[in-house]
Structure 1
């Protein structure tokens, strides 16, 4: 592995309430110069809550457990946001941390480990799992939760098979691939002091499983499915966006939008026209700079237009997204709509003809 990749996907209706605040990488390979080991982080605001997502690759081998724990602490320590209006990562409402953490199963011999896996007695191995042991001793690590390991160890397999390592090294199986999470600690108050009601923000694990059908790697991938329940701290988007009237392929299209009083607008803001199902901000089929094509504006409402020559001749469903240059995020999105094809008119012989 020569690097780390972290991708975040969201349903389009959530986009106006997701703001990416910072991205950061912390290489730890080759004394901090090589990114084959380390961590990558995305810090974002989700409906007003601070969320950090970290993907990591920690040092391998049984004997390097102390080094793994040092790198874990170092990656966490390096997630500082100096010069940005972002709290310390330990004050974030949620941290989700996952990756190839490389923790191994100590003491037990290869035969015992494999027989326990064969009989699905995974609980017999938990007490010697290095991460589980470390959590009992490390107060900070103990704050990270994990689901029960009810699936076979995910390393090391012969490639293109479900057989554990049959090479000369015969590495002992281990749960190297893990998903952890940490919710923000609530401030402690004395028994005589009424505790202020905390915003509702809870995370519950629905499933934590490995997927044995994938054989391209010597690891098996692990997925976690969660339910996140929250009371939004922000419920009104910075931009309210709507197409005006019925859009057709014959005329320029008018877009109206309004902004909240605290929205930091920029001449480099733009509105994109997208097919429903967009996967990236650059997937637009057309766009317009909000200042270049402005028709009218006042304190409450702005209007811009998209030239008819930039309107696609297709009857797919579309939506509009307002991209903020200052916030580097989509801050407004319209409801889906259709662009109507050119109207047909009857000719004297009763046959429909396209209007020009």
Structure 2
């Protein structure tokens, strides 16, 4: 996988209790298999609890239908690694490439005010998940931090997206 790295650290005293470590790589890029997009998966058991960690880099883009490609990437990863959903604990992280559906002029004041609820309402991933289009039935941790996005070079000011939108890189976790 090009540019995706997943490291799962376990306390030394617990390492002897890790069983069934398995990894997988799923490319979803060019032609549906290239490694510029996709996921790296690590699965294991710790005592009686099974874990699956998925570090993904989903399709980018801000077109009105770009979110459908991201949802298709998730579906393909789950199709090619069907055991992910069978684990007790499932964590998705990485560059999921979902966007905030508003212009930067609306987003920056919400960030400065720490209005995470208003930002979440604009979050494409949250909307798509709640509509059942992606990660249906999964839970996401409460968002208590600003969206991740590029800064203007040499400043602490958010940069503009291609269409004045900010992208988020939220991690979805659940099960």
- Please tell me the TM-score bracket, short chain as reference: 0.7 to 0.9
Q: Corresponding residue for 1:68?
A: 70
Q: How does 1:235-314 map to 2 (within 5 A)?
A: none
Q: Contact between 1:114 and 1:173, CA under 8 Å: does it hold in 2?
A: no
**Residue 71 of structure 1 aligns to a residue in which SS?**
helix
**Greater mean deviation of Cα atoms: 36-45 or 89-98:** 89-98
Q: How does 1:140-219 map to 2 (within 5 A)?
A: 141-165=135-159, 169=162, 171-175=164-168, 177-183=169-175
1:90 aligns with 2:85: yes
Task: Compute the displacement of 1:78 (Å).
Answer: 0.9
Gaps of 5+ in 2: none
Query: 1-side partners of 2:108 and 2:133: how far apart?
Result: 32
Query: 1-side partners of 2:148 and 2:127: how far apart?
Result: 18
Q: Corresponding residue for 1:114?
A: 108
Higher relative contact order (CA closer than 8 Å, sequence separation 6+): 2
Task: Compute the displacement of 1:179 (Å).
Answer: 2.3
The list of structure 1 runs, each at least 4 consecutive aligned residues, that deviate by more than 4 angstroms after superposition, is none
**Greater mean deviation of Cα atoms: 93-102 or 30-39:** 30-39
Task: Select the structure that is richer in strand.
Answer: 1
Change in CA separation of 1:31 and 1:159 when aligned onto 2, cut-off 3 Å: farther
**Residue 144 of structure 1 aligns to a residue in which SS?**
coil
Task: Select the structure that is richer in helix.
Answer: 2
Q: TM-score, normalised by structure 1?
A: 0.45
Query: 1-side partners of 2:54 and 2:146: how far apart?
Result: 24
Residue among 84, 94, 100 paired with 1:99: 94
Task: Compute the displacement of 1:166 (Å).
Answer: 5.5
After superposition, the CA RMSD in angstroms is 2.3
Q: For residues 163-219 of structure 1, what are the alpha-carbon distances to aligned partners after superposition, in whole Å with 9 as ceiling and x for unaligned? A: 21168x4742232x2222223xxxxxxxxxxxxxxxxxxxxxxxxxxxxxxxxxxxx
**Residue 165 of structure 2 aligns to a residue in which SS?**
coil
Q: TM-score, normalised by structure 2?
A: 0.87
Q: For residues 250-290 of structure 1, what are the alpha-carbon distances to aligned partners after superposition, in whole Å with 9 as ceiling and x for unaligned? A: xxxxxxxxxxxxxxxxxxxxxxxxxxxxxxxxxxxxxxxxx
Greater Rg by CA: 1
Q: For residues 319-348 of structure 1, what are the alpha-carbon distances to aligned partners after superposition, in whole Å with 9 as ceiling and x for unaligned? A: xxxxxxxxxxxxxxxxxxxxxxxxxxxxxx
